[in-house]
Structure 1
Amino acid sequence: MNFIQDNIWWFVIGLNYLFVFITAGYEIMHNREPAKTISLLFALVVLPGIGLIIYYFFAQEFRKDKIFNRKKVYDHEMIKKWEDKLILEEKDLAHLENFFVDDKIKLVRLLQNNQTKPFTFGNKVDILVNARKKFDTLFADLKKAEKHIHLEYYMFRSDNIGNKLIDILCDKAKEGVDIRISYDYVGSSLSSKALKRMNSCGIEIFPFMPVWFPNLTRKLNYRNHRKLVIIDGKVGFIGGVNISDEYVNYKGQEDTKMYWRDMHLRIEGHGVKSLQAQFLLNFNFITSKEIEIKDEYFPTIEAAGKSAVQIAASGPDTDWKNIMEAILTAINTAEKYVYITTPYFIPNNEILTALCTASRIGIDIKIIIPEVGDSVVARHATNSYIEMLLESGVRVFHYCKGMVHAKTMVVDGVISTIGTCNLDNRSFDINFEINAFVYDKYIAQEMLVIFNNDLLECDELNLEKWRNRAYSEKIKESLSRLWAPLL
């Protein structure tokens, strides 16, 4: 006993590395993605004690793994019940060859075969630039709701814009409209007063996977990053705008608040059914009860427009990296251009290689990222990839007007995608994400105009100047990149 007391620190360190050895063996034997495994092992080795705490609480959660495995089985069972309402038959899919040129049909088939990702015709799609346009449109549609309203948000705050939304929802609930809300426990900040008010109005509102230390786990936990609204099964909203004043560029605050550049979609038509399916699956999951599926959730809809839409959802509970695979396929089948806007660019090897290869064979690749952003570590990690992009001929632009939060891509004037997925490991592997893929040359043209307008607020990066940036910056970038799989 005296020996242990005299050598307590050596004993603690030895015990730490014994657990590190056991944990490392567990990680290696589970054949996870090598980059992520190496980052975890690095943290375990260089951060005695702290590394184990981070790993145990945030990086590896046995309970959640079991929950997600059960959710996969449950999702399959639910999808079987709804597939007659959702899935386009193969004979109909074969006719799509006439609507697409070259290899674009490959993306359609990829998403069609990934569970609830059907190709839907007859959609009316409206692009909503920035939060004020999104909320004006959303509030007008919510006031017209007759049967149900379903909302699913990563960030729902009871601030000015949040309380305006709550006012409308409570009014509709009093009119007899069924309202269900799923909000992420970590990303959201709802006061007890706001929650009590919504509950008293009969609104069903549930947090997504509550955690003990929400402020500490903001970047180290599985979160629901989706932003969805479904109204009467006929109108849907999807995109990057959260329910928070932070996103709204109020007049008079130009000098005190960062300008926020974002994008959202309003969909009217059959594509809303896929949004509805994803909402119901997650709502059933977090409430541990099965909602009775009513015909009104998947109503018969006349063609509202001419856009074709597919919804891609992914997360730690899906069999495939649906959104990442779709983005990868779109890049690999591009023939003219790929224009991307993303707030966080920390790509995996597949996406990085695809972009650089496409550029070197003559595809015009342009990427808009924030000049500053809202995360110092993420910004440095992003910067570590820029030199390789520039060397391959990819044109990279810093958005200088404020924070660009839009997650969009337009390819060859045919394919557009808007959603919640960033080009980083967290979106590809850890968070629950959802994107809309739109096949419409007119929508693609509108997206192209928006992209070019954003370029007017950007500075293009020059390879020689970038190489000559401060060495201290390069050190920060290299260190941040080590943590990229965990960001």
Structure 2
Amino acid sequence: MPDTFLLFALIDLKPYLSFGYIVFVIITIAVIIHDKRDPVKALSWIIVISLLPVVGFIFYIVFGRNHRKQKLFSRKELSDLEQIDTLSRQQIYEINNAAVLHKPEISDNRDIITLLLNSNKALLTVHNRVKLLNDGTETFDEIRKALWSASSSIHLEYYIIEDDPLGREIADILIAKAQQGVEVRLIYDDVGSWGLGRKYIGRLRKAGVRVECFMQVVFPWLTSHVNYRNHRKILVVDGKIGFTGGINIAQRYVTGTKMGPWRDTHLRLEGEAVGMLQIVFIADWFFVSKQLLNDYPKYLPKTHVKEETMIQIATSGPDSDWASIMQAFFSAITHAQHHIYISSPYFLPNEAILTAVKVAALSGIDVRIMIPSRSDSKVVYWASRSYIGELIDANVKVYLYRRGFNHSKLIMIDGQFSSVGTANMDIRSFEDNFEVSALLYDRKITQELEAEFLHDLDQSRMVTRDYWESRPALHSFYEALSRLFSPLL
């Protein structure tokens, strides 16, 4: 036995370890290349793995794999909702029929509408009533009223639910309604709601609320599920009232944080669009519970709303073949004629969106982008700022919102098209997260949103060339370093 140990001691293992290191890196890089992902993102992963092979490989397993191609989840499993496909094909025919093109809402946005019908089966709804909610106080006042009015069902789906005063108040209402015989279902995201304890969930379940966790993460560093999160915010009451937008269930959305007041935008909907939100929830409920609500027609009551506000509810995520929300934004930006207003708390666009924005501004379109002057994520903060210089070079007007933290996720174009939803203007929202957005083809609502946006600009600082070039050199280094990781954030 001692001779054996002596033999190993005499062998120089370094060449073998070096060879193994090289083989490991080459195989991992080959897998990334074979995935045929975006070259910039692929190159970022190759650099990380080459410099930090073991850690980089673990990060790639957790954050890097392309689940859109692996079909993590497909809505095609929901055969009972196959009529959505039939209806979308019918709408494509009708929209391309000259008889309906006299409606400016359709003729001005036919490309976007058709795109979402083809890529997302996002039906165009006509009869809707919309109320804009411009902060957490307005939003939760309306949510409380809607929840207390529930008589048959309450369906909630949120990225963040916190066990704080507001979170407990919402739980109390859900418990009270469940005890009254209302069907209450709740989906929460395991990463976004990381601090939501068993006690909170146990109270709900004990009272009859059906609670499901979206893709539970038991061992965060051993699963890629941690990277693919349900970032949607959906509430549907009795199939008649719906809510979506940027606001989660947490006290800070009402009272603010150390950064100051929390600025956000949400929608209260009535009409046909609520049915589309309900279908999104039904599909997600099937995903998390493996239970299809076979009696789903009762959750889709006929609407009595007569007003006309055209809306498409679009979704995106690893469950879909296409990055539908990003594609809709790209189409809208490239068709702009006069102005483009964008508000996003995290601005880390992919190359397509960045190019579209710069080309629009260079073509004479008035492009204004508002991002927070402070952020809840340091890396994202510096990475977002790394785009400012080239945006200014392309004549884009960039504003830093200074009155607290602006979390609104908005795009408004030419006073006639707008989007309010959960998707940030970043790669994660475009590719990795499960998102939902309401695309509105309506001048009145869009102009209301634009008025709020312009008011927010009064609380912002426009970034001038002199101001930008005078920033500390160290800031430029932070931006450049963070920019390298932007495709991975």
After TM superposition, the score normalised by the length of structure 2 is: 0.92
Q: Which amino acid aligns with 1:279?
A: F
Counterpart in the other structure of 2:118: 113
C-alpha distance in structure 2 between counterparts of 1:208 and 1:416, whole Å? 29
Pick one of 221, 233, 241 that aligns with 2:239.
233
Counterpart in the other structure of 2:206: 200
> Does structure 2 retain, via aligned residues, the 8 Å contact 1:132–1:248?
yes
Pick one of 196, 206, 215 that aligns with 1:209.
215
1:100 equivalenced with 2:104 (yes/no):
yes
Sequence identity (%) = 36
C-alpha distance in structure 1 between counterparts of 2:237 and 2:38, whole Å? 39
The SS at the match of 1:267 is strand
1:151 equivalenced with 2:156 (yes/no):
yes
The SS at the match of 2:326 is helix
Counterpart in the other structure of 2:74: 71
C-alpha distance in structure 2 between counterparts of 1:142 and 1:364, whole Å? 41
C-alpha distance in structure 2 between counterparts of 1:81 and 1:307, whole Å? 23
The SS at the match of 2:278 is helix
Q: Which amino acid aligns with 1:74?
A: E
The verdict on how the C-alpha distance between 1:377 and 1:9 changes in structure 2, with shifts beyond 3 A counting, is farther
The verdict on how the C-alpha distance between 1:206 and 1:67 changes in structure 2, with shifts beyond 3 A counting, is farther
The verdict on how the C-alpha distance between 1:215 and 1:166 changes in structure 2, with shifts beyond 3 A counting, is farther
The verdict on how the C-alpha distance between 1:135 and 1:16 changes in structure 2, with shifts beyond 3 A counting, is farther
- What are the equivalent positions in structure 2 for 1:123-272 lying under 5 Å apart? 123-188=128-193, 189-213=195-219, 221-249=227-255, 256=258, 258-272=260-274
> Does structure 2 retain, via aligned residues, the 8 Å contact 1:186–1:215?
no
The verdict on how the C-alpha distance between 1:407 and 1:9 changes in structure 2, with shifts beyond 3 A counting, is farther
Counterpart in the other structure of 1:449: 451
The SS at the match of 1:230 is strand
C-alpha distance in structure 1 between counterparts of 2:328 and 2:357, whole Å? 14
The Cα offsets for residues 135-162 of structure 1, whole Å up to 9 and x where unpaired, read as 1101101111111111111101121111
> Does structure 1 retain, via aligned residues, the 8 Å contact 2:167–2:249?
yes
Moved more, 15-24 or 431-440: 15-24
> Does structure 2 retain, via aligned residues, the 8 Å contact 1:71–1:285?
no
1:46 equivalenced with 2:51 (yes/no):
yes
The Cα offsets for residues 200-253 of structure 1, whole Å up to 9 and x where unpaired, read as 111111110011345999996110100000111111100000111121126xx8
C-alpha distance in structure 1 between counterparts of 2:85 and 2:133, whole Å? 30
C-alpha distance in structure 2 between counterparts of 1:363 and 1:469, whole Å? 28
C-alpha distance in structure 2 between counterparts of 1:3 and 1:465, whole Å? 67
C-alpha distance in structure 2 between counterparts of 1:106 and 1:293, whole Å? 35
Counterpart in the other structure of 1:478: 480
Displacement, 1:65? Answer: 6.7
Pick one of 281, 286, 311 that aligns with 2:288.
286
The Cα offsets for residues 290-334 of structure 1, whole Å up to 9 and x where unpaired, read as 222332211111225321110110001211110001111111111
C-alpha distance in structure 2 between counterparts of 1:86 and 1:160, whole Å? 43
The SS at the match of 1:114 is helix
> Does structure 2 retain, via aligned residues, the 8 Å contact 1:153–1:243?
yes
The Cα offsets for residues 77-125 of structure 1, whole Å up to 9 and x where unpaired, read as 3441445677763454334422227642211111122243011111001
- What are the equivalent positions in structure 2 for 1:374-393 lying under 5 Å apart? 374-393=376-395
> Does structure 2 retain, via aligned residues, the 8 Å contact 1:130–1:261?
yes
How large is the RMSD of aligned CA atoms in angstroms? Answer: 2.4
> Does structure 1 retain, via aligned residues, the 8 Å contact 2:91–2:123?
no
> Does structure 2 retain, via aligned residues, the 8 Å contact 1:86–1:273?
no
Pick one of 282, 300, 304 that aligns with 1:298.
300
The Cα offsets for residues 52-86 of structure 1, whole Å up to 9 and x where unpaired, read as 22123332388x97561x525315x3441445677
Q: Which amino acid aligns with 2:111?
A: K
Q: What is the aligned length? A: 480
C-alpha distance in structure 1 between counterparts of 2:330 and 2:157, whole Å? 26
> Does structure 2 retain, via aligned residues, the 8 Å contact 1:88–1:119?
no
Q: Which amino acid aligns with 1:99?
A: K
Q: Which amino acid aligns with 2:74?
A: K
In the alignment, structure 1 segments of 5+ residues that lack a partner are none
C-alpha distance in structure 2 between counterparts of 1:200 and 1:296, whole Å? 25
1:432 equivalenced with 2:437 (yes/no):
no
Counterpart in the other structure of 2:396: 394
The verdict on how the C-alpha distance between 1:379 and 1:415 changes in structure 2, with shifts beyond 3 A counting, is same
Where do 4+ consecutive residues of structure 1 move more than 4 Å?
1-14, 64-67, 81-88, 213-220
In the alignment, structure 2 segments of 5+ residues that lack a partner are none
The SS at the match of 2:31 is helix
The SS at the match of 2:53 is coil
C-alpha distance in structure 2 between counterparts of 1:84 and 1:324, whole Å? 24
Pick one of 30, 33, 41 that aligns with 2:35.
30
C-alpha distance in structure 1 between counterparts of 2:42 and 2:476, whole Å? 24
- What are the equivalent positions in structure 2 for 1:334-373 lying under 5 Å apart? 334-373=336-375
> Does structure 2 retain, via aligned residues, the 8 Å contact 1:121–1:303?
no
The verdict on how the C-alpha distance between 1:218 and 1:363 changes in structure 2, with shifts beyond 3 A counting, is farther
Displacement, 1:44? Answer: 0.5
The SS at the match of 2:321 is coil
